[in-house]
Chain A
Amino acid sequence: DTGVSQDPRHKITKRGQNVTFRCDPISEHNRLYWYRQTLGQGPEFLTYFQNEAQLEKSRLLSDRFSAERPKGSFSTLEIQRTEQGDSAMYLCASPPSFRPGDEETQYFGPGTRLLVL
């Protein structure tokens, strides 16, 4: 177990509903990443936090998506007015430790699988 946890593991929702996912990084590491993975593809970067600051957002993150990390520990990813195209696995990642060299590595959580009906 790499220590990154995500909740819930599965979410089924109807189109138009809002959903929120949570990620707890390893040892409350200051770096936290969100990715999305659709069927047959590798993960795609969504956004990056350093402490509570959201420093980078992908073009994939439309205005229906919002991510927060209010205290620099856990993070939430909210999707408003979900669409069927939002169905995917949402992954969270963080480095395993603050040791030199480890900060360039990302360990992944189990993901939240979203299905929009």
Chain B
Amino acid sequence: AQRVTQPEKLLSVFKGAPVELKCNYSYSGSPELFWYVQYSRQRLQLLLRHISRESIKGFTADLNKGETSFHLKKPFAQEEDSAMYYCALSGAGGYNKLIFGAGTRLAVHP
């Protein structure tokens, strides 16, 4: 079964500290992975997708097929990074529907 696991419900760090939000997936085919972010009182927004291999707001994520992981990283966290982060998998069953993890809340303290 296709599944996305985000093992941490909450990640609490201080401003300037490195951040790594973990995401593991199970999928037998060639997945497409995404990170979405939801700031307080805002809609779910696309942060980045693995196929683009880009850095958005200082965040990067590398798809590791051997470890079936797509961890989100940022070297120096900012207070404005505080939000809910969701990892999502596409490609399961066609039509590009997304399978989401339960999310990790990132709290960056001053």
Q: Chain B nearest CB: distance from A5 CB in Å?
A: 10
Q: Is B110 part of the contact surface with A, judged by Cβ < 8 Å?
A: no
B46 close to A42 (CB less than 8 A)? no
A109: B residues at CB distance < 8 A: 43
Task: Give the residues in chain A near B98, CB-CB below 8 Å.
Answer: 33, 35, 43, 45, 93, 106
Instruction: Give the Cβ gap from B65 to chain A, nearest Cβ, in Å.
Output: 18
Q: Are B44 and A43 in contact (CB under 8 A)?
A: yes
Contact between chains at B90 and A104 (CB < 8 Å): yes
What is the CB-to-nearest-CB distance from B36 to chain A, in angstroms, rounded to a whole number?
8
Is B100 at the interface (CB under 8 A from chain A)? yes
* Contact indicator A41/B102 (Cβ below 8 Å): yes
Shortest distance from the beta carbon of B53 to any chain A beta carbon, whole Å: 12
Chain B, 83-110, CB within 8 A of any chain A CB: 86, 88, 90, 93-103
What are 5 pairs between A and B in contact, CB < 8 Å?
Answer: A42-B102, A45-B97, A91-B44, A104-B51, A107-B45
